C-alpha cells in the first residue's frame, strides 16, 4: 500500500497513538489502513465412498489437485462461501454439513476453513479455474500432487475420521516452507 | 474506497473479466482491490468456576460487557490472536485451549472465533479499551448488558456445555438487527 484509498495522498508506515503495530497512515487525511488476514473457505464434497477434487487451472500450483476452495466474500457466511466455491470451481451443488478443519497459515496471513459437504448430484465439471474435476476413492488420492498443505492435512483427517466411523473438528497451523506463497 | 492504494488514481466499481462481483478497479494501473471479511478472535478466560469479562471503554457499545476479543492481526494464528487480545484488553495471561465457537456476522463482514482459555494467575486489570475487568460466576453474568450477540451466544453455549460436563464446538450466524454495526 502506497496511497490512501480514501483521499489518494501518500501513506506512511507508523504506529498510531494507542496502537502497538505499524499501520499505513495517510499523510493528508490521517486515515489508518489496517491489513488483516483473509479467510479461505472450502468443502470436502462427498459422493458415497468418493470425494471430489479439482485440478487447478491457475497459479499458484497450476496442474495440482485441491478441494474446491477460495477467498471468502463479504456478505456471505463461511458455509455459503464453501458452497459458492464448490459451484464456481467444480460446477457442483452441495449440501454443506459440519465444519471440519480450521487451519492457520500465518506466514501468508490466511485462515483456511473447510466443511464436509454432500454432493447433490453427479452433474459436475471444471469451472473457469479448474482443468478437470473428478471423484476419488481414498486409494486413488494423488497425495504427491495435492496443491496445498492445508488441503493434504484436511484430507488426512477426513480419511482417518472416516475409518474411525466418527468425524470430528480439527484445528492446526502450517509453518512457512522454502517455496513461498504456497499455503 | 475511492483511490488506488497502489498508484493513487481514482478507482471505479466494475466486474473484472472472469469475475462475478463488482470490485474496486484502478482506472490507471488496473489493480483490482478485493474487500474480504475480517476475523474477530477472542477467549473465554476461566478461573475455577468463574469467567473473565471486560467492560468496554470504546464504541461501539461503550459501557457494555464482553469477552476479550478483537480483530485478528496479520502474521498471527487465531489462537495467538485470542491470547493477545486477552492481554491487551484485560492485561491477563492465558493458556489458550480448544476452539469453542465460530459465528458468522455476514451483514458486517465479520467472522467471530472464540477459544476457551485458562487464566494463568489473578493479576489482571483493564487495558486501554476497557473500563473494568472482572470474574463472574454464571449467576452474576450481566446478560442484559452484554455488548454483542456473538458474545451472548458464546456464553450461553459455554454454560450449557459446562452443565453437561462436556465442551463441544459450536457454529452459527447472527442476522442483521435494527441497530446497525452491532455484531
pLDDT digits (tens, 9 = 90+) for B11-40: 999 999 888 899 999 999 999 999 999 999
What per-residue confidence (pLDDT) applies to B182?
A: 62
Say whether A41 sits in a helix, a strand or coil: strand
Nearest CA to A114 out of A143, A64, A156, A61 is that of A156
Composition of chain B by helix, strand, coil, percent to 5: 20, 35, 40
Q: How many CB pairs under 8 A join A and B?
A: 117
Residues 66-85 of chain B whose Cβ lies under 8 A from any Cβ of chain A: 71-80
Query: Does the distance separating the beta carbons of B2 and A3 come in below 8 Å?
Result: no
Residues A117, A46 contacting (CB under 8 angstroms): yes
pLDDT digits (tens, 9 = 90+) for B42-94: 999 999 999 999 999 999 999 999 999 999 999 999 999 999 999 999 999 99
Residues A45, A93 contacting (CB under 8 angstroms): no
Q: Which of B1, B5, B17, B24 would best serve as a mutation to test chain A binding (most A beta carbons within 10 A)? A: B5
CA A87 to chain B, closest CA, distance in angstroms equals 12
Chain position carrying cell 462427498: A46
Query: Does the distance separating the beta carbons of B37 and A74 come in below 8 Å?
Result: yes
Which residue of B lies nearest to A31 if distances are taken between CA atoms? B1
Q: Which of B106, B114, B168 would best serve as a mutation to test chain A binding (most A beta carbons within 10 A)? A: B106
What is the complex's ipTM, to 2 decimals? 0.94
Q: Does A137 touch chain B (CB under 8 A)?
A: no
Distance between CA atoms of residues A136 and A150, nearest Å: 18
Quote the mean pLDDT of chain A.
95
Q: Does B137 touch chain A (CB under 8 A)?
A: no
Query: Does the distance separating the beta carbons of B99 and A102 come in below 8 Å?
Result: yes
Residues 3-42 of chain B whose Cβ lies under 8 A from any Cβ of chain A: 3-11, 18, 20-21, 24, 33-39
Q: How far is C-alpha A23 from the geometric centre of its chain's CA atoms?
A: 26
pTM: 0.95
Q: How far is C-alpha A21 from the geometric centre of its chain's CA atoms?
A: 27
Q: How far is C-alpha A84 from the geometric centre of its chain's CA atoms?
A: 12
Length of chain B: 183
pLDDT reading at B179 higher than 60: no
What's the distance, Cα to Cα, between the start and end of chain A in Å? 23
pLDDT digits (tens, 9 = 90+) for B122-160: 999 999 999 999 999 999 999 999 999 999 999 999 999
Q: Which three cell numbers stand for residue B48?
A: 475455577
Taking chain A (183 residues) in runs of 10, the rounded mean pLDDT of each run is 95 92 95 96 98 97 98 98 98 98 98 98 97 98 98 98 97 82 62
What per-residue confidence (pLDDT) applies to A179?
A: 58
pLDDT reading at B99 higher than 80: yes
Amino acid at each position: 500500500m502506497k496511497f490512501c484509498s480514501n483521499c489518494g495522498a501518500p501513506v506512511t508506515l507508523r504506529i498510531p497513538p494507542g496502537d502497538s503495530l505499524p499501520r499505513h497512515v495517510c499523510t493528508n487525511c490521517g486515515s489508518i489502513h489496517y491489513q488483516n488476514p483473509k479467510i479461505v473457505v472450502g468443502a470436502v464434497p462427498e459422493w458415497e465412498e468418493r470425494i471430489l477434487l479439482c485440478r487447478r487451472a491457475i497459479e499458484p500450483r497450476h496442474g495440482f489437485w485441491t478441494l474446491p476452495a477460495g477467498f471468502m466474500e463479504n456478505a456471505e457466511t463461511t458455509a455459503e462461501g464453501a458452497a459458492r466455491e464448490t459451484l464456481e470451481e467444480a460446477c457442483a451443488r452441495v449440501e454443506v454439513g459440519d465444519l471440519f478443519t480450521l487451519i492457520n497459515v500465518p506466514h501468508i496471513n490466511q485462515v483456511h476453513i473447510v466443511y464436509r459437504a454432500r454432493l447433490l448430484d453427479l452433474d459436475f465439471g471444471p469451472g473457469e479455474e479448474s482443468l478437470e474435476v473428478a471423484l476419488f476413492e481414498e486409494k486413488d488420492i494423488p497425495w504427491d500432487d495435492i496443491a496445498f498443505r492445508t488441503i493434504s492435512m484436511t484430507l488426512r483427517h477426513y480419511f482417518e475420521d472416516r475409518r474411525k466411523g466418527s468425524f470430528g473438528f480439527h484445528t492446526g497451523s502450517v509453518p512457512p516452507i522454502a517455496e513461498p506463497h504456497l499455503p
